[in-house]
Structure formats: C-alpha cells, structure tokens
Structure 1
C-alpha cells in the first residue's frame, strides 16, 4: 500500500509540474460534464414545462364553463290543446322549431376531482423526472469504465518504457561483450527483437488509450487531445448506505398510485354546481306561444353517477396490486445493490492484499533481474535468460499497477453503486 501511495504521489507531482503545458481532467469533472452534455438532460425542462401547462389547464375547471348551442328541428307532431272554446283562439305550435342558446355552468363541489387531477399531473411529472435521473445516473458507470481504462493504459505504457530501458541497458552491455569477444551476436539480436515487440505493445496500448479518450470525449462533449492528462483519483472510503435515485423513483410510483386510488373514490362522489341558460327561439319557454322569443333558466344542478360503483372495488384492487409490485421491485433492487456492494468490498480487500504481496514480489524480482544483468555482462547467462527475469519483473510491476487501479476502481464503483 505504501508503494501504491508513493506511485500516486509521484504521478501527482508530475502532473503539477506539467500543469502549464498539460490540461488536467478529473473524474468528478467528467461526471458533471457528461450529465450536462448528455442529450437526454434537455428532457427535464420539457417535463417541467409540460406539467406546468397541464396543471394550469386543470385549474381552469374551477372557472365558469360556457357553451353556445343552436338547433333547428322538424317533428312529426306537436302539443295541442284538445279543447275548443268559443271566442278563444288557441294557437297551434309549428312543427319546425328553432333554438339558439348559451349555457354557463359553475362547479361548486366536484368531489375533489380537479384537485386530484392537478396532483396526479404533478406526481406523473415527478415520476418522469425521477426516471430521467435514473437514466442520467447510469452515465457514472460508463464514465468509470472509460476513465480507469485510460489510467490502466497510461500505467502500462509507463511500465513498457521502463522495460525498454532495462533491455537497452542489457543490450549495451551485450554489445560491449561482443566487442570483447565474450558474447555472441545472437544475444544482441534476441534483445533487439524484444525491443521491437515492446514497440508493438506500445502501439497497441496507445491505440487502446486513444479509443477510450475519444469515447470519453464524446460523453463530455470535449475533444481530448494529447495535452490532456487524467488525474489519478484519490482513495476514498465509500459509504455503504444505499442512496440511489431508483429509491426515489419507487417512492414517486407509489405516490402516483395513491392519487389514482383517491381519484377512484372521487369520481364516484356527487357533483354540485350552478347553471344559467339563456336563448332565443320558437317556441320559447311558453309552449303555447308560437312566436320567436328570448328566455332564460337558472338554478342549482346535482349529478351523481352510480355506475362507477360497479367497478370501483376492482379498480382499487388493481391499484393495490400495482403498489405491491412496486414494493417487490424495490426489494429486488435493494437485494441486487447490496450484493454489488458486497462484491465491491470483497474486490477492495482482495486488491489491498494483492498489493501487499506485489511489493514483496517486485523487491525480489528486481534483485534477481539486477543479478541477471551482471551475469549477462560476464557471459554467465544468455540474452533469453536475462529477458526472462526482465519480463518477470515487468509482470510483477504490471500486476501492482493493475491491482492499484483496480482498488481505486472498486472504491469508486462502490460509491457509484451506493449512490453516495
């Protein structure tokens, strides 16, 4: 662990020294920029604006409702007075009748329907907004993969350069021994071939790093050129308490279901309101007057539809089942998330133990390599024997680097998984 902290400290010092010529990119900055530049984030404003308009429209249900109507009819028969009185002219109603009228209805009591409609609109908007938060939160996992992928490639490239220096040092000693006649030229050829293989490995690692950088640049909407350096994140102790946006999503689903259940009750309550109707037609209110005339009617109207009681019980049962289904989803999510957190904790413990072993292995491999270099210089071993020890030390150092970054990645994965 001390060696890992030393490596991270050295990297930080190098980054600080080159701050004037390089641009540092931090993991937290990538989170922020990826969220800000992801196209889906624009949906948040649409959700809020749509909910605002819908609530304003629903609130207009409290305003007087005005309608204008007109009709012209012809009927087969009309009302007649079956009595004839001398000297009295009883008018006959025309079979063609006309009416144009306007009606105004003002709700007094609607069983809370309008209020519930506004609440359901807001609850649905909150649900959509929280679903968007869940979708955006998943960006963190993808950013983690790309960011730490670049860090691993960087460390492997740095280790490749170290191995090159070791082989070049051995090559210089072999060349000197060849001049003195104590070594074969084939030993130099073996080392030279290994240098070419390392060049190929460097090309592959640079291509991998470039691909990761390009994908990361797409997420944060920023081209990442060679002057960008990813800062090694600091080690953290993640909180294991779960605080993911999915939990709020489940709560939003339950809230919407609660309002829907209240709406089932509300729509089966009686409705009370005032009305005023005024018009002009033939006949008007006096059915015995066959002339065009104006009229008005006003009063109090009560309506109560009882047919809703046929289905209300089953509707509430369906909503109750939906609520339980959300509970099962939440329990499943918590179970899976806790399993992921346990795995992340186990990965951290494993990486910590491996790093401690890596330090001892590197110390031994370095001594063996240095001994092999001296033996190569005096012709005790050949180039293949020396390369075997160089590669063994290289593998040990790569393992340490990989385990160190895996430890960091496990810590940040745990932080992302828990939502803290």
Structure 2
C-alpha cells in the first residue's frame, strides 16, 4: 500500500502540472490499438479469410459436372485390315485420314472425401497464417510499449533537467550580484556557467531522443502527436504479483500457433488418406466422326457412350505412409519448440517478478533520499553564498540532488515498464 501511495503522489503531481500546460492526452492502450489498426498485418488477416473462401469455392467446383469438347483430325500410314484368307465374306476398308469431334461429361459421385479434406486443409492453413500474424501483432505491441516508455522516460528527465536549470540560474544570478559587490570571483561564476552548459547539452540530447521516439510512434500509429500532446503514465495493476505462476505462457499467441500447427499436420494426414480412397464417377460422351464405333463403316457417323467409372489407387499407399512419417517428425519438432518456449517464458516472467519487487522496495526510499539531497544542497547553497565553500563543492551537492531526482523519476517509470513487460510476457496487452 505504501508503494502505491507513493506512486500515486508522484504521478498525480506530475500529471496535474503537465496536463494543465499541454493539450490532448494519449494513452498506451490507444497507441497500441491505433498501431494494430494501421498495421498491414491486420489487413493481411482479412485477406487470409478471403483467400480461404476463394480456395473453398474452387475446390467445390470439382463436384460440379465437367464438360469437355474434343476435336481431332489425323492421318496414319496403316489401318487394320482383315487377312486375305479370312473365312468370312467380310471386308474392312478403314480410311487413313480420320476425324472425330466429341463432347464429354463427367460427374463425380464419390471422391474419397478429398473435397471435404481439402477444405479442412484450407481451414487449418488459414488458422496457422492467422495465428502467425497474431504473434507478429504482439511484437508490434511490444515495440509500441518500448517506444511509449522511452517517451515517458525522456520527458521525466527533461522535467528534472528544467528544475535543475532553474535552480542553477538562480545561483548564477546570486553569484553575479556578489561579484558586483566584490564578494565572489569569476572562477565561481565560470564553474556554475560550465555546469549550466552541461545541463543545456543534456536538454538538447534528451529533446532529440524524445523527438526520435515521437517520430516512430507517429509512423506506427498514424496519430497526430504535437509538442502539446500529453502522454499519460499507465497505472500499475492493483493486483499483486502472481507468486510462482504455474503457466505464465498460457495466454501467449504462440501457444495458439503451436496448436494450429498441429491441427494443420492432422489435416495433411487426412488429405493423404483421401488420395488412397476409391473414387466413383459417371461419364458420358457424344460426337461425330469417321470412323464411328462401327469399324466396318468408313462413312461419318454419330457416336455416343456412357457409363460408370471406378478408380482405386494401388501404389499410393507407400507415399501416404511416408508423408505421415514426415508429419510425425514435424509434430515432435513443434512439441520441442513449445517446451523450449514455455521454459523461456517462465524464466523471463520470474525475472520480471524479481525486478518488480526490487523496484517497489527502491521507490519507497526515493522520496526520502531526494528530500535529504535537497536539504544538503540547500545547506551547501547557503554556505556557498556566504563564501564558506567553493563553487566546486557546491556543484557536487547540486549534482547529487539532480542524480537523486532523476533516479526517483526513472525508478517510478521503470516499475511501470517492468509491469508492462511482465504483462506482455504473459500475453496480456490491456
């Protein structure tokens, strides 16, 4: 409770000061949502569904009656003839130039479940692609997290820099007044002026770093971000840290991807089985040509035939078994990948829990440390103004206070960053 109270005081005071001077407020959740909506990955997820529907329609078309027109003209050097000693008074005089035009109709009755299994394969493939895109979108959210925290850190450092420059400007005015009275030397003024230059250099570097982060955030989200935009600090979750959470990886997108990859292997096995199944179809053919089905007639004649066709592959069994063996090996590889992933996520989550606990303890001491450094700096300032200590000695305490203030602000934001990272490791982005 003490940690939450300290964080609330720090963040509320900063938010009140900054929000009053700046414009539109931006939240981390809004940035993540905007980045996801703007990302081509989201458009690709829609295309995956459209592609699957098109594939299914193409597969279903194989069940429709198939019509085919064929035409052929040929000339051959020999044709069948009856032997001269043939006992019957029959002659066969086939022409060497032959012509044929037909229309053929084929209708599948049973395709060995190949159409159904093909559609299942399309569905499993689409689910794998969608799950893969979801993993990439989580990486985009992680990038937004890092960019947003980078902006907050630079803003806090700039705020501390501004406070310290204001304090040093007051010191410089006091030293200048003392110099006019002959109570201070130019060396003291030069020391303070040099430190002011360093603070200005830090301000320029921090401003450049902030501009870099804002440019990246603008490009990723498409949001209108100006110098007056106020970035809200994400709140730390009210619930405590899960103590040794058994499965911190259960909500990760990668877990769904592993499941979908296994489903795809099962769909491939079913597809392999369907290639070995028997197939049954109706066929009919009609046309006109010379010779027709009557080989003894050399005139053009109509032709028609129809029936039932049965097909049973006898040599595809071995290929099917080899494909299944490949899929079994691929399935074991997926299992190994998942086990390695679960172990790494568990380790990473444990590390973040330790970091959060350490930061919670640290920020409890930060306000006391800052106040102590401020008191010492004020005492040193009074001694410096009285000529008791040198400018170098005063700057030492001045720098100590600046470091303590920066450390306190950074620690508070590091705790927020650690919570965000810990939630992201667990697959939580809200």
Indicate the residue corresponding to 1:110 in structure 2. Answer: 111
For residues 73 and 183 of structure 2, what CA distance do their matches in structure 1 show?
Answer: 122
- Aligned partners of 1:14, 1:54: CA distance in 2, in Å? 58
CA-to-partner distance for each residue in 1:264-318, whole Å, 9 max, x for gaps? Answer: 1110111111111111112222222222111211111101111101322221111
Name the CA distance, whole Å, in 2 between partners of 1:32 and 1:79. Answer: 83
Cα deviation code 1:78-129 (max 9, x no counterpart): 14375465xx664422233222111111111111001111111122122112
What is aligned with 2:7? Answer: 4
Deviation of 1:149 after TM superposition, in Å, equals: 0.8
2:197 counterpart residue number: 196
Contact 2:280/2:309 (CA < 8 Å) preserved in 1?
yes
Alignment partner, residue 94 of structure 1: 95
Tell me the equivalent position of 1:34: 35
CA displacement at 1:188 relative to structure 2: 2.5
Query: Equivalences for 1:228-377 in 2 at 5 Å?
Result: 228-236=229-237, 237=239, 241-242=248-249, 243-377=251-385
In the superposition, the TM-score normalised over structure 1's length comes to 0.93
Q: Secondary structure at the match of 2:292?
A: coil
| Aligned twin of 2:148 | 147
Match of residue 56 from structure 1: 57
Distance 1:176 1:98 in 2: 117
1: distance between equivalents of 2:303 and 2:378? 114
Q: For the Cα contact (< 8 Å) 1:78–1:94, is it kept in 2? A: no
Q: Which stretch of structure 1 is more off in the superposition, 37-46 or 284-293?
A: 37-46
| Number of equivalences | 416
What is the aligned partner in structure 1 of residue 79 from structure 2?
Answer: 77
Q: Secondary structure at the match of 2:316?
A: helix
Do 1:214 and 1:223's aligned partners in 2 also have CA atoms closer than 8 Å?
no
- Equivalents in 2 of 1:67, 1:188: separation in Å? 99
Deviations 1:370-402 (A, max 9, x none): 211221222211211111111101101111111
Q: Once the 2 structures are TM-superposed, how far is the Cα of residue 223 of structure 1 from its aligned partner?
A: 4.5
Alpha-carbon shift at residue 254 of structure 1 (Å): 1.0
Q: Do the aligned partners of 2:81 and 2:92 also contact (CA within 8 Å) in 1? A: no
After TM superposition, the structure 1 stretch with the greater mean CA deviation from structure 2, 351-360 or 277-286, is 351-360
Measure the CA separation in 2 of the matches of 1:215 and 1:329. 33
8 A contact 1:80–1:93 mirrored in 2? no
Separation (CA, whole Å) in 2 of partners of 1:53 and 1:40: 20
Q: How far apart, in 1, do the equivalents of 2:416 and 2:424 lie?
A: 12
Give the match for residue 218 of structure 1: 219
The structural deviation recorded for 1:14 is 3.0
Question: 1:124, 1:256 within 8 Å by CA — same for their partners in 2?
Answer: yes
Match of 2:417, SS state, is helix
Task: Find the aligned partners of 1:310 and 1:390 in 2 and give their Cα distance.
Answer: 82
